[in-house]
Chains A and B, each alone.
Chain A
Amino acid sequence: MTSIVLAGVGGQGIITLGKILGEAAILEGKKSLMTEIHGMAQRGGRISVDLRIGDYQSAIIPIGSADAILGFELMETARNTVKLKKDGIIVANKRMIHPMPLIMKAQEYPERESEEIISRYNHYYVNADEIAMSLGEKRSVNMVMLGALFGVGILEISEESLKKTISASFRNPRVSEINIKAFEAGVAAVNQEKVL
């Protein structure tokens, strides 16, 4: 049984990732549950998806019990640590998306504060946006992140099932191929972090 919080900002492909992960689990005969909350804004608002693989009834992950946070945006990653258990793992993208109240007051992003909160836990950083860009498809950020999550070894799902689900999720074969590459790049990036 695994509980994962996917956290970020609208438009980062978080829900697509959750769907793929959940479907891969189902492919292996496991149960998965997912709940998503996105507020009023179509873009730029907070998004958090709770994904639970195993025999759960509640899709909402209780406070302090998530096994992992897959964070697409630095501050949202830090914010969601309330859900993480003490020995949980964080896989964090370094992306910073500045919220309105700070922009309006001409204030800077709380980068150090966010990193400090993340550092209290077992964590890995991934430059998912850069990696996706280098593959020529910036929208593949989510598959880089999925690869990184797989790379830390927390998923009880095989690489084969994940790749099969990724391939089936994109109609265009070129896009599908890039997303598989993005997944592999995510695995490699987190393995490199492990060595460091």
Chain B
Amino acid sequence: MKSSELLEQSERAHFLLGNEAVVRGLYEAGVSVTATYPGTPSSEIGDLLYETHRDLGIYFEYSVNEKVAFEVAASASSLGKRAFVFMKHVGLNVAMDSFVSLGVSGVKGGFVILSADDPSLYSSQNEQDNRYLGKFAKYIVMEPSNPQELKDFVVKGFDISEATGQPVLIRSVTRVSHMRSVVKYGPVRNEINNSSKPDRKNTVLLPENSFRLQPQIFDRLKKVVEQGFSRNFINIEGEGEDLIITSGSAYNSIKEALEISGLKAKVMKIGISYPLDVEYIYNQIKHHNRIILIEEGGPFIEEQIYSIIAGKGIRKEVFGKITGDVPYNYEMNVDRVKGILAKIYGIPDKTEVVNIDLPSRPPEFCPGCPHRATYYAAKIALRQKGWKDYISPTDIGCYTLGYYDPYGFGDMLLSMGSSIGTSNGYSIFYGKKVITFIGDSTFFHAGIPPIINAVHNNHPMIVVILDNSTTAMTGGQPTPENMGNIVKIEDILKSIGVKNIHKTDPYDLKMTVETFKRAMDEEGVSVIISERECALEADRKKSKDEFKIFQVNQDKCKLCYNCVRNFTCAAFYIKDKRVYIDPELCDGCSVCSEPLVCPFGAIEVVK
């Protein structure tokens, strides 16, 4: 998407990804400062801001992690500027400490944080529902259902934040951030670029100040209801005896599911799910005997509805997660909602599912990926040194895929940086050698404190830093090593006092195997920096003449299948028991032609 399309002032409809609509919303709201650490499904907001922020007149940075990104935005708000920070759901855990404190301080310039949750775990380690974190930290929680609302809620979120003095959390989900639909632009307001010093009695959370601020938090939250914001974000549609209460992405499935099932119900869609307007909702639910609650995650709204029912002393028949009528996990879709309604109404669910039995297609390393070569070399070195019961914590990035066969690395993974963190424990309690894997961007994000701990407390381990000089998994965002003032991993390690620092190029298998073996003989903390640019990034820079591809010389191939069984590049395939290389997929990295993969020299460059 080009800047000119974002800057347009026309009434025409745009076909925007939810994440793109967010950027237009920031422009319309006159936001000054934005920051993030990339994470799917929020990454495209950063990709687009990175490309266009100068034209939009918005400050944007890729911060080293979510906590720093949050603090960059919070500081801007304390000066009176409008500030926005965004991240995937688990990124908010990283920012948690400052996140909670800002709820106490309140804000001066409008402050909106967007958390992109991932129900059904398309690219995450959990499906945590960050509405709970919003409520926990006393933020105003908003839930858009589609790209148009994402844009509109961003704009209105800033107004509400400034009207109340409290920060706003927008909870998006994969299917809203990655939904593309019609978006109509609104007016652009002038940037509010105040710059007055923070009110230090609110922004320095000494116990004295915090004590005084506690009641103010709830006074600010009350304004959300008193000024009608909570009520204005409730939409009611349809007619029927029963009431379905829903929000966010789950809302999108309800209408079609009702239609297919031949059912009628009133649908209440909640746009601000914390704080709720208790009186308004009571006046709605009191007319219905049966209430069905369908939300993704939770039971967040559901628990609040129970509170209203109990508080008002009314009796209602409620169907939801707590009663077992709605499943706790995964995203909603028409098929699931239809199934839920069928059970509640005791009607048949007519969906016929055809069973299709085909091999799975799990995610895999790209052809030419340097990680494949690093893992392949590591396995050879471990075998040659007779290491069998080693333990190998891994981390978050493309290289997590080394978990799968035939590589089989990874014994523990909790969060960003946990590879080195857990290695500190394993090095003492497991009693055997630890070899741990982490990427360059993850190392900067959360890998430095645990490696200081390892040196300081003398926990022996081999740390392999898979350095492809990009944040590859989220689409190739920059890292401190390749943009701005360059920060080198090697310099950090030296300053920490890591004595054994090795560098290798994974495309040179022989050198990499020898490097691993040398590190395995050392005491204390050893680091191997396995350095080779991400193949996708490198390909973008190649000229046409630099591209080459490889093929299998069938006369030389002895059908040992080592290349397919152990190196397992995605460009290989088998036909009539022979090995071939798909010329469309081959990246030309040449690693498979090395004797450590093909001892018979059967893999040759295509002339």
Contacts and interface: CB of A to CB of B under 8 A. Distances in A.
Residue in A43, A64, A99 with the greatest tally of chain B CB atoms within 10 Å:
A43
A195 B475 CA distance: 43
A133 to B, nearest CB: 9
A96 B571 CA distance: 11
Interface in A59-107: 59-60, 62-64, 75-76, 78-79, 81-82, 96-107
Contact of B255 (A19, A34, A40, A57): A57
A40 to B, nearest CB: 4
B206 interface: no
Contacts of B253: 57-58, 60
A125 interface: no
A42 B351 contact: no
Contact of B335 (A44, A62, A81): A62
Contacts of A75: 358-359, 361
B323 interface: no
Interface string A20-37: 001100100001111111
A41 B175 contact: no
Contacts of B256: 56-58, 62
B400 A40 contact: yes
B362 A101 contact: yes
A63 B351 contact: yes
B333 A58 contact: yes
Given A37-B178, A39-B122, A9 B353 contact: no
Contact of A39 (B354, B363, B472, B585): B363
A22 B16 CA distance: 10
Interface in A117-153: 117, 129, 138
Contact of A42 (B473, B573, B584, B585): B473
Interface string B375-406: 00000000000000000000000101100111
B356 A81 contact: yes
B544 interface: no
Interface string B544-561: 000000000000000001
B181 A59 contact: yes
B358 A35 contact: no
A43 B581 CA distance: 16
Contact of B334 (A43, A60, A81): A60
B361 A36 contact: no
A99 B582 contact: no
B233 interface: no
A26 B16 CA distance: 11
Nearest to A109: B573
Given A22-B180, A33-B180, A62-B256, A39 B123 contact: yes
A98 B360 CA distance: 10
B403 to A, nearest CB: 11
Interface in B160-184: 174-175, 178-182
A21 B364 CA distance: 29
A9 B570 CA distance: 12
B358 A44 contact: no
A33 B356 CA distance: 27
B585 to A, nearest CB: 7
A162 B362 CA distance: 34
B252 to A, nearest CB: 5
B565 to A, nearest CB: 6
Contact of B573 (A41, A57, A62, A103): A103
A34 B15 CA distance: 9
A18 interface: yes
A42 B472 contact: yes
A113 interface: yes
A25 to B, nearest CB: 8
A69 to B, nearest CB: 12
Most buried by A among B251, B254, B572: B572
Contact of B570 (A79, A100, A114): A100
Contacts of A60: 175, 252-253, 333-334
A13 interface: no
B358 A110 contact: yes
A103 B572 contact: yes
B564 A110 contact: no
B11 interface: no
A138 B584 contact: yes
Contacts of A33: 179-181
Contacts of A98: 570, 572-574, 582
Interface of B: 13-15, 122-123, 174-175, 178-182, 251-256, 260, 333-335, 338, 351-354, 356, 358-367, 398, 400-401, 404-406, 472-473, 475, 536, 561, 564-565, 568-570, 572-577, 579, 582, 584-585
Given A59-B252, A99-B364, 9 more contacts: A19-B15, A26-B13, A42-B475, A43-B366, A43-B536, A59-B175, A78-B356, A96-B573, A108-B576
Closest 9 CB pairs of A and B: A41-B363, A98-B573, A43-B366, A34-B180, A99-B361, A62-B334, A40-B363, A60-B333, A45-B363
Interface of A: 9, 18-19, 22-23, 26, 31-37, 39-46, 56-60, 62-64, 75-76, 78-79, 81-82, 96-110, 113-114, 117, 129, 138
